[in-house]
C-alpha cells in the first residue's frame, strides 16, 4: 500500500489510573483499506478508537491527519474533520429518530429537517442500506441501529469510519450485508477501522491487521499473508485449547417452562404465544436475527418481565446475563458491589445488618481470580472496567454456584478468544451440575457448539425447533429469515 | 463527577453573592463574619438556639435521604410535616387531659402516621400510574396547606375565639418538656439524636444497599426478594413519618398550638440539608447546623454591623435552596432519562 494515510496515531500512550491502556501505539488508516484491529479484552482496542475519535486525549504521542499533526478537541471536532464512529454500545438517542439524531449533531445554525433527510438518504444509498428514518431509535433492531449510525457518520461527511465490534450483536445474514457495504465504501475511498474478535469474519473483509497486546502493537501485517495461528499467538501469546467434545449429560425434570406466553417487551416485536421447556442439565439454544423477540423471551424467562398472557414456571434461583451488560451492573459503585449482587442476602455479607464491604471485597477478589477479570482490583468502579471485563464479571457472578436456571443472552459478546472459551466451559459445567440453561445468542456456531436443542425465533414466534444432532445450516437460515422450512424437516 | 464540579461552582458563587450583598450595605466582611459566629455559636444560649433550629431539619433531611437512595426525590416534606402536625393536634385534643407519658408518645405516633400516609400517597401514585413523585408531592403540599387553613377556620378553630386562624393551645401535659440548658431545646432533641444513630446504622446496612440497587437496577433488587412495591412504599412512608414527627415536635415543642405557619419552611429546608449533607447522617447533622446558623447568625450580623438587616440569613438560605435545586436537577437527569426510556418502551409495546 503506497497511498498516504488519512489519519494515523503516532506513538500514542494513554493511562487510566493503574492501567496502561496504550503504550506507544502506531496505527495508520489509509483510504480504500479495511484495517482490522485485533486483541484480547482490555488490550486497548476501544481506547485506540476513542483517541482517534477525539473522545480521549492521548497522554503522549499524537494524531496526524492528512500529514499534519492535529489535536482533536472532543467529538464535535473529530466529526468536523471527517472521523465517523460506530461505537460498541451505540450512541443514538433512543427517543429520537435517525433523522433527529443526525440533526442533533448538526453544527450549522440552521438545521433543516428536509436537508437532513436528504443527506441520510444519499448516505444510505451510497452504502446500499435501506433505513427506517422515522422510527425512534430504541424501537429499531440492533442491526438497524448500527447501520443507522453508519449512515449518520457518512452523512456527516466521514472519510474515516471507526467500527467498534459492529458485528457482536448481528446474525450471519446481517453480517454478510454489512461486509458488502464496508467493501463498497472502502472502494469509494473511505478508510475503515474495524474491531472484532472473530477471525473468520475478519478474513472476509479486512486488508490489513494490527494486533494489540497489553497496549502495544504486537503484530502488523497484511491479512492474506498472516495465518490464524500467528494472529492468535500475537493476541494471547499461546493457542486456545480446542473445543471439547460434548459429554453425555443426565437430563433432569423440567425446571423452566413457558406456556403460550405472549409478552410486550423492550423490542418492537412482541413475543407471540411462545412455549418452551428446559430441563435440568439441558442447554436450550435460541437463535434468530436480532430483534425477533429474543430479548423479551430472555426477560420473561428470567422473571424480569411479566407476560400479558400465558404462564411461566421458573425458580427464585435464576441466573440472568442480560443482553446489555450494564443492565446487570452498578456502574458507579466499586466493582465488588456488583460482584456480590446475586449472593447479597447470604449471612456472610452482613454483620448486625451492616453490609460487610470487606467480605464483599474478598468474595469479589476470588471471583475476579476465577473469571480472570482485569484489573484484579474490586475497588475500581464497574464502569471503568473494559467491556469484556465487565462481561466476565457479570457472567462469573451469575454462573457462580450452580444456579437452578440460567438465562444467558449473548454471554460471550465482546469477549476475546480465550475468555470466550472459558465462559463456554463454564456454561457446560453449569449444565453438568444440573442447571437448566437458556442460551440466547446470535452466534450460530456458539449455540450449535453448546446447545442440546435449538429454537429459532422469527417475528416473535417459534419458527422452528430441533435437536442439535439434526442441525442443518440451510434449514436454520431459512427459519431465521422467516421462510418456511420444508415439511420433510418436521418430525 | 460532573455533579461535584457543579456543586463546587455553585458554592463558590454563593459565597461571593452573599459577600457582595453584605458589602453593598457598607460593612466590612470580617465584621460580618465575626457577627455571624457570635450570633450562631458565640454564647451557650445562641449555640443551643442554633441546635434547636437544626433539630427538625435533621429529622426531615434524614427522611428525605432515605427516599433519595431509592431514586425518589421527595419534595413533599412540607405537606407531610403539616399533615403530621394536624393529626397530632386532632389526636391530642380528642384525648383530653391525660398524663404526659401517654400524651407525648401518642402525639409523636400520630404525627408520624399523618406524615407517613401523606407521602405514601405519592409513592402509591408512582407505583400504580407512574405519576412523577415530584409533581404529586408538590401538589400534595398545596393540598396540605389549604387543608390546614380550612381546619383552622372550622373544626380546629380556637373556641376562645381569636380572630386569627389558630387552634386552641395544647394542654400542658402534651407539651414536650425543655432540657435544663440555656435556650429553648426540648427533650425530643435527644430522640432525634437517637434517630441519627439509627440512621447511621441504616446508612451502612445491607438493606440500604438493596435500596440503592433498586434505585439503579430494579430487577436486581427484586431478584433478591425485595419487590419494587415494598421499597417504594416503605421508603416513602419512612421519609413521610420523619417529616410528620418533625411536625409534632414543632407543634408540641416550639409553638404549643397549631397555626398556619407551623411548617416554617422546614420541609423545603430539609431537602436542602439532605443534599448538602450528601445523604450521609453525619453530613446531614453538620449541614443542618450550618443551615440553622444562617438564621441565628443573621441576628448576630445585625447586632455587629448595625446596617445589615437580619433578613440576610433568609436571603442566604434562599440562595442555598436555589443552588441545591440546580444540583438536584443535574443529578436527577440521569434517573429521569432512564425512567422515561422504560416508559417509552412500555408505551410502544
pLDDT tens for B129-183 read 889 899 999 999 999 999 999 999 998 888 887 778 899 899 999 999 999 888 8
Q: Flag if B344 and A268 touch (Cβ within 8 Å).
A: no
* One domain, residues A45 and A171: yes
Check CB contact of A134 with chain B, cutoff 8 Å. Answer: no
pLDDT at A108: 63
Domain containing residue A307 = 254-489
- CATH number for A329: 3.40.50.300
* One domain, residues A331 and A367: yes
The closest CB to that of B206, out of A268, A327, A344, belongs to A344
Check CB contact of B338 with chain A, cutoff 8 Å. Answer: no
* One domain, residues A258 and A215: no
* Cα→Cα distances B165→B78, B82, B263, Å: 19, 15, 15
Neighbours of A366 (CB within 10 A): 13
Q: How far apart are CA B27 and CA B19, in angstroms?
A: 10
Domain end call among A204, A236, A268? A236
Alpha carbons within 13 angstroms on the beta-carbon side of residue A85 total: 25
Within a domain: A246: no
The closest CB to that of B204, out of A267, A327, A354, belongs to A354
Does the pLDDT at position A170 exceed 60? yes
Q: With contact defined as beta carbons under 8 Å apart, do A310 and A258 qualify?
A: yes
Sign of CA dihedral A432, A433, A438, A443: negative
pLDDT at B292: 92
pLDDT at A364: 94
Q: How far apart are CA B202 and CA B213, in angstroms?
A: 15
Within a domain: A241: no
pLDDT at A315: 84
| Average pLDDT estimate for A332-349 | 91
- Cα of A290 to nearest chain B Cα, Å: 17
The closest CB to that of B206, out of A304, A342, A355, belongs to A355
pLDDT at A231: 81
* One domain, residues A385 and A479: yes
Q: How far apart are CA A12 and CA A436, in angstroms?
A: 47
Preferred mutation among A291, A298, A344 to probe B, highest tally of B CBs within 10 A: A344
pLDDT confidence tier of residue A478, bands split at 50, 70 and 90: confident
- Of A79-88, A257-266, B5-14, the range with the lowest mean pLDDT is B5-14
* One domain, residues A427 and A381: yes
The closest CB to that of A138, out of B209, B224, B341, belongs to B341
pLDDT at B344: 42
pLDDT digits (tens, 9 = 90+) for B167-179: 989 999 999 999 9
Mean pLDDT of chain B: 87
Does the pLDDT at position B56 exceed 90? yes
Own/partner pairs, A446-450, CB within 8 angstroms, 24+ separation: A446/A412, A446/A420, A447/A285, A447/A286, A447/A287, A448/A285, A449/A243, A449/A246, A449/A424, A450/A283, A450/A285, A450/A424
Does the pLDDT at position A109 exceed 70? no
H-type helices in chain B, by residue range? 2-23, 29-37, 44-69, 77-95, 100-129, 133-153, 188-203, 206-216, 218-223, 228-249, 266-276, 281-305, 312-348
Within a domain: A2: no
A456: helix, coil or strand? strand
A&B contacts, CB < 8 Å = 68
| Average pLDDT estimate for A69-81 | 87
B249 phi and psi angles, rounded to 5 deg:
-65, -40
pLDDT confidence tier of residue B342, bands split at 50, 70 and 90: very low
| Average pLDDT estimate for B303-315 | 84
pLDDT confidence tier of residue A328, bands split at 50, 70 and 90: very high
Crossing angle (nearest 10°) for helices B228-249 and B100-129 = 140
Which cell goes with A336? 465488588
Give the pairing of strands A436-440 and A405-409. parallel
* Cα→Cα distances B214→A159, B96, B226, Å: 44, 44, 9
B88 phi and psi angles, rounded to 5 deg:
-65, -45
Q: Flag if A270 and B349 touch (Cβ within 8 Å).
A: yes
Q: How far apart are CA B223 and CA A341, in angstroms?
A: 9
Q: Which of A73, A91, A84 is nearest to A49 (CA)?
A: A84
Taking CA–CA distances from B209, the nearest residue in chain A reads: A355
Within a domain: A294: yes
* One domain, residues A34 and A120: yes
Sign of CA dihedral A126, A127, A132, A138: negative
The closest CB to that of B209, out of A136, A327, A355, belongs to A355
Check residue B150 and report its DSSP letter. Answer: H
Q: Flag if A327 and B349 touch (Cβ within 8 Å).
A: no
pLDDT at A233: 78
Percent of chain A with pLDDT over 70: 91
Q: Which residues pair with A473 in a beta bridge?
A: none
* One domain, residues A274 and A191: no
Check CB contact of B340 with chain A, cutoff 8 Å. Answer: yes
Q: Flag if B224 and A266 touch (Cβ within 8 Å).
A: no
Domains, chain B, with CATH or none? 2-335 (1.10.3470)
Check CB contact of A351 with chain B, cutoff 8 Å. Answer: no
Q: How far apart are CA B249 and CA B111, in angstroms?
A: 9
A345: helix, coil or strand? coil
Within a domain: A211: yes
Give the pairing of strands A309-313 and A254-263. antiparallel
- A42-56, A199-213, A280-294, B45-59: which has the highest mean pLDDT? B45-59
pLDDT digits (tens, 9 = 90+) for A421-456: 888 988 999 999 999 999 998 777 788 889 999 999
pLDDT confidence tier of residue A169, bands split at 50, 70 and 90: low
pLDDT at B187: 92
Q: Which of residues 196-225 of B touch A (CB under 8 A)?
A: 201, 204-210, 212-213, 216-217, 219-220, 223-225
* One domain, residues A344 and A378: yes
Domain end call among A236, A262, A285? A236
pLDDT at B206: 93
Within a domain: A247: no
pLDDT at A237: 62
* One domain, residues A230 and A374: no
* One domain, residues A318 and A428: yes
The closest CB to that of A304, out of B208, B219, B341, belongs to B219
Check residue B39 and report its DSSP letter. Answer: I
Within a domain: A245: no
Alpha carbons within 13 angstroms on the beta-carbon side of residue A479 total: 26
Q: Flag if A354 and B224 touch (Cβ within 8 Å).
A: no
pLDDT confidence tier of residue B262, bands split at 50, 70 and 90: very high
Q: With contact defined as beta carbons under 8 Å apart, do A382 and A331 qualify?
A: yes
- Cα of A123 to nearest chain B Cα, Å: 28
pLDDT at A491: 40
pLDDT at A1: 47
Residue with cell 453425555: A248
pLDDT at B77: 95
Domain end call among A236, A269, A288? A236
* One domain, residues A272 and A141: no
| Average pLDDT estimate for A177-181 | 83
Q: Does residue A321 or residue A214 have the better pLDDT?
A: A321
Q: With contact defined as beta carbons under 8 Å apart, do B222 and B89 qualify?
A: no
pLDDT confidence tier of residue B256, bands split at 50, 70 and 90: very high
Q: Does residue A322 or residue A111 have the better pLDDT?
A: A322
pLDDT at A435: 93
Q: Flag if B225 and A139 touch (Cβ within 8 Å).
A: no
- Residue B208 CA, chain-centre distance (Å), reads 20
Which cell goes with B349? 409495546
Q: With contact defined as beta carbons under 8 Å apart, do A151 and A118 qualify?
A: no
Which residues in chain B are contacts of A337 at CB distance < 8 A?
209
Taking CA–CA distances from A319, the nearest residue in chain B reads: B223
Which cell goes with B111? 404525627
Q: With contact defined as beta carbons under 8 Å apart, do A215 and A22 qualify?
A: yes
pLDDT confidence tier of residue A26, bands split at 50, 70 and 90: very high
Number of domains chain A is built from: 2
- Cα of A143 to nearest chain B Cα, Å: 18
Q: With contact defined as beta carbons under 8 Å apart, do A164 and A46 qualify?
A: yes
**Dihedral in degrees, nearest 10, Cα atoms B142, B146, B148, B149:** 140
Which residues in chain A are contacts of B224 at CB distance < 8 A?
341, 344-345
Taking CA–CA distances from A300, the nearest residue in chain B reads: B219
Q: How far apart are CA A5 and CA A67, in angstroms?
A: 8
pLDDT confidence tier of residue A405, bands split at 50, 70 and 90: very high
pLDDT at B345: 43
pLDDT at A146: 79
Q: Which residues pair with A164 in a beta bridge?
A: A195
pLDDT at A119: 84
Q: Does residue A242 or residue B101 have the better pLDDT?
A: B101
pLDDT confidence tier of residue B341, bands split at 50, 70 and 90: very low
Q: Flag if A330 and B216 touch (Cβ within 8 Å).
A: yes
Taking CA–CA distances from B213, the nearest residue in chain A reads: A330
Q: Which of B173, B169, B239 is nearest to B202 (CA)?
A: B239
* One domain, residues A229 and A259: no
Taking CA–CA distances from B343, the nearest residue in chain A reads: A266
Mean pLDDT of chain A: 84
Check CB contact of A397 with chain B, cutoff 8 Å. Answer: no
Q: Flag if B205 and A355 touch (Cβ within 8 Å).
A: yes
pLDDT at B2: 56
Does the pLDDT at position B346 exceed 50? no
Q: How far apart are CA B244 and CA B239, in angstroms?
A: 9
Check residue A297 and report its DSSP letter. Answer: H
- Cα of B330 to nearest chain A Cα, Å: 16
The closest CB to that of A345, out of B212, B224, B348, belongs to B224
Alpha carbons within 13 angstroms on the beta-carbon side of residue B99 total: 2
Within a domain: A1: no
Crossing angle (nearest 10°) for helices B44-69 and B228-249 = 160
| Average pLDDT estimate for B313-322 | 83
Amino acid at each position: 500500500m503506497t497511498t498516504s494515510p488519512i489519519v494515523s496515531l503516532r506513538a500514542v500512550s494513554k493511562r487510566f489510573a493503574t492501567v496502561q491502556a496504550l503504550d506507544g501505539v502506531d496505527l495508520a488508516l489509509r483510504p480504500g483499506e479495511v484495517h482490522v484491529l485485533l486483541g484480547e479484552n482490555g488490550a486497548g482496542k476501544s481506547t485506540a478508537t476513542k483517541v482517534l475519535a477525539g473522545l480521549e486525549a492521548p497522554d503522549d504521542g499524537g494524531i496526524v491527519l492528512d500529514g499534519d499533526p492535529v489535536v482533536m478537541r472532543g467529538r464535535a471536532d473529530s466529526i468536523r474533520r471527517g472521523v465517523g464512529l460506530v461505537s460498541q454500545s451505540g450512541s443514538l438517542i433512543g427517543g429520537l429518530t435517525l433523522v433527529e439524531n443526525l440533526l442533533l449533531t448538526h453544527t450549522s445554525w440552521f438545521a433543516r429537517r428536509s436537508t437532513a433527510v436528504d443527506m441520510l438518504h444519499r448516505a444510505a444509498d451510497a452504502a446500499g442500506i435501506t433505513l427506517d428514518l422515522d422510527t425512534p431509535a430504541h424501537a429499531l433492531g440492533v442491526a438497524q441501529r448500527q447501520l443507522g449510525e453508519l449512515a449518520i457518520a457518512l452523512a456527516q461527511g466521514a472519510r474515516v469510519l471507526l467500527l467498534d465490534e459492529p458485528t457482536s450483536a448481528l446474525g450471519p445474514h446481517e453480517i454478510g450485508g454489512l461486509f458488502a457495504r464496508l467493501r463498497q465504501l472502502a472502494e469509494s475511498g473511505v478508510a475503515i477501522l474495524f474491531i472484532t474478535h472473530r477471525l473468520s469474519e475478519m478474513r472476509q473483509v479486512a486488508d490489513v491487521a494490527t494486533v494489540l497486546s497489553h497496549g502495544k502493537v504486537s503484530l502488523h501485517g497484511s491479512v492474506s499473508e498472516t495465518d490464524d495461528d500467528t494472529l492468535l499467538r500475537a493476541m494471547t501469546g499461546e493457542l486456545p485449547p480446542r473445543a471439547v467434545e460434548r459429554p453425555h449429560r443426565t437430563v433432569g425434570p423440567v425446571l423452566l417452562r413457558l406456556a403460550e406466553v405472549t409478552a410486550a417487551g423492550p423490542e418492537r416485536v412482541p413475543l407471540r404465544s411462545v412455549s418452551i421447556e428446559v430441563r435440568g442439565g439441558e442447554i436450550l439454544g435460541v437463535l434468530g436475527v436480532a430483534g425477533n423477540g429474543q430479548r423479551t423471551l430472555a426477560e420473561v424467562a428470567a422473571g424480569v418481565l411479566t407476560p400479558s398472557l400465558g404462564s411461566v414456571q421458573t425458580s427464585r434461583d435464576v441466573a440472568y446475563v442480560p443482553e446489555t451488560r450494564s443492565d446487570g451492573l452498578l456502574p458507579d459503585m466499586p466493582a465488588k458491589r456488583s460482584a456480590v449482587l446475586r449472593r447479597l442476602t447470604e449471612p456472610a455479607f452482613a454483620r448486625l445488618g451492616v453490609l460487610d464491604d470487606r467480605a464483599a471485597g474478598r468474595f469479589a477478589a476470588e471471583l475476579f481470580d476465577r473469571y480472570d477479570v482485569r484489573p484484579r482490583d474490586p475497588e475500581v468502579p464497574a464502569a471503568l472496567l473494559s467491556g469484556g471485563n465487565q462481561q466476565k464479571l457479570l457472567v462469573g457472578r451469575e454462573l457462580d454456584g450452580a444456579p437452578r436456571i440460567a438465562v444467558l443472552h449473548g454471554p460471550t459478546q465482546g469477549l476475546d478468544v480465550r475468555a470466550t472459551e472459558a465462559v463456554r466451559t463454564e456454561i457446560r459445567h453449569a449444565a453438568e451440575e444440573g442447571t437448566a440453561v437458556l442460551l440466547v445468542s446470535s452466534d450460530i456456531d456458539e449455540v450449535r457448539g453448546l446447545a442440546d436443542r435449538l429454537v429459532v425465533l422469527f417475528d416473535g414466534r417459534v419458527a422452528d425447533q430441533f435437536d442439535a444432532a439434526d442441525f442443518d445450516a440451510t434449514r436454520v437460515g431459512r427459519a431465521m429469515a422467516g421462510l418456511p422450512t420444508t415439511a420433510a424437516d418436521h418430525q | 463527577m460532573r455533579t461535584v464540579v457543579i456543586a463546587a461552582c455553585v458554592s463558590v458563587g454563593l459565597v461571593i453573592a452573599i459577600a457582595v450583598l453584605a458589602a453593598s450595605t457598607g460593612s466590612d466582611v470580617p465584621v460580618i463574619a465575626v457577627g455571624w459566629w457570635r450570633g450562631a455559636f458565640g454564647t451557650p444560649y445562641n449555640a443551643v438556639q442554633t441546635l434547636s433550629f437544626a433539630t427538625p431539619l435533621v429529622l426531615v433531611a434524614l427522611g428525605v435521604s432515605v427516599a433519595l437512595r431509592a431514586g425518589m426525590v421527595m419534595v413533599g416534606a412540607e405537606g407531610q410535616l403539616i399533615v403530621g402536625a394536624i393529626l397530632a393536634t386532632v389526636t391530642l385534643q380528642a384525648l383530653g387531659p391525660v398524663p404526659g407519658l401517654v400524651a407525648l408518645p401518642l402525639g409523636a405516633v400520630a404525627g408520624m402516621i399523618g406524615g407517613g400516609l401523606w407521602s405514601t400517597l405519592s409513592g402509591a401514585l408512582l407505583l400504580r400510574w407512574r405519576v412523577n413523585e415530584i409533581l404529586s408531592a408538590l401538589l400534595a403540599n398545596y393540598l396540605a396547606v389549604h387543608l390546614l387553613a380550612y381546619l383552622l377556620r372550622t373544626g380546629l378553630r380556637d373556641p376562645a375565639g381569636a380572630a386569627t386562624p389558630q387552634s386552641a393551645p395544647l394542654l400542658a401535659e402534651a407539651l414536650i418538656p425543655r432540657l435544663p440548658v440555656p435556650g429553648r431545646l426540648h427533650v425530643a432533641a435527644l430522640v432525634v439524636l437517637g434517630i441519627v444513630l439509627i440512621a447511621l446504622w441504616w446508612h451502612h446496612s445491607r438493606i440500604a444497599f438493596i435500596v440503592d440497587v433498586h434505585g439503579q437496577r430494579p430487577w436486581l433488587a427484586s431478584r433478591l426478594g425485595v419487590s419494587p412495591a415494598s421499597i417504594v412504599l416503605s421508603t416513602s412512608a419512612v421519609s413521610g413519618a420523619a417529616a410528620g414527627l418533625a411536625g409534632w415536635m414543632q407543634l408540641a415543642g416550639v409553638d404549643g398550638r397549631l397555626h398556619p405557619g407551623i411548617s416554617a419552611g422546614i420541609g423545603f429546608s430539609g431537602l436542602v440539608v439532605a443534599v448538602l449533607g450528601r445523604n450521609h447522617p453525619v453530613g446531614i447533622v453538620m449541614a443542618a447546623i450550618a443551615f440553622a446558623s444562617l438564621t441565628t447568625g443573621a441576628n448576630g450580623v445585625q447586632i455587629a454591623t448595625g446596617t445589615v438587616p437580619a433578613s440576610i440569613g433568609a436571603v442566604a438560605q434562599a440562595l442555598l435552596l436555589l443552588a441545591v435545586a440546580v444540583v438536584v436537577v443535574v443529578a436527577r437527569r440521569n434517573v429521569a432519562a432512564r425512567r422515561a426510556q422504560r416508559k417509552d418502551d412500555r408505551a410502544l409495546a
